[in-house]
Amino acid sequence: KSWSPGRARHINASRRACLVARFGFIYAQERFDAETLLRTYISDMETVQRIIYTAAVESFYAAKMAYWKFKIHVKEALSLSHSGPESLEDAVLDYIVCHKDEYDVHASVKAVIRSMNINPKISFPPEIDFIVLSTLIQELCCLAFSMQTLTPPLDVAFGIDGELFNESKYYRSPDSDFTAAFVAYHVWPALVEDGIVIVKGEVVTKR
């Protein structure tokens, strides 16, 4: 195939648009499905939303770690035979994009569930086995892994309980106190590119 920086930028832009749209769909539909599922086990909505938010953040973390290890492996293999015309870094990205099925997403899902099981904010009381969220976690891990192949990569924003509400970063949930200045807890993470929010997250604000 012919390779050019212009073609690469166009492909990157169209893949980015698809992945951002997928993030939006997971938020709108699959997150809601997971909420409905968890409500059959847990009556407290805050706990349910905290669990799903944690699953999303941990999925991105696990996928980024897996991507980093996969990239090192591919780079070592390709460096033995690479000759151009694109740079070795571009060849590595190209390979990963074309061979995403080699990503062991099930290992990432297990890592996410392990992390959730020891997270003190959501692990007690142990009313539920987080394996019931495997479908959502797998979708998020695959999405996050693909987002690492973009230039620049996409990631979810870091959020902490009690942070000052930022309307450029979050929407308030309908059950929020709209006069409250601080975030009580997070419902969904914001999506960022080079530190700039491109899709707002959702939080609950309370006094």
Provide the residue ranges of all domains of the chain, joining segments of one domain with +: 5-157
* Tens-level pLDDT at each residue, the chain (207 residues): 444 555 667 778 899 999 999 999 999 999 999 999 999 999 999 999 999 999 999 999 999 999 999 888 777 776 677 666 676 677 667 776 767 777 899 999 999 999 999 998 887 666 689 999 999 999 999 999 999 989 899 999 989 999 999 999 999 999 999 999 999 999 999 999 999 999 999 999 998
Structure tokens given for 120:
């003190």
pLDDT given for residue 181 in this prediction: 95
pLDDT for position 121: 87
As a whole number of angstroms, the distance between CA 133 and CA 56 comes to 11
Q: What is the pLDDT of residue 34?
A: 97
Distance CA 69, CA 148 (A): 12
**Residue 78 has what pLDDT?**
66
CB-CB contact of 188 with 56 (8 Å): yes
Burial of 68 (0-12, 13-18, 19+ CB in 10 A): exposed
- What is the sign, positive or negative, of the torsion defined by CA atoms of 37, 117, 26, 159? positive
Please tell me the pTM assigned to this model. 0.88
Candidates 30, 102, 112, 29; CA nearest to 63 is 112
Q: Give strand pairing partners of 191.
A: 156, 199
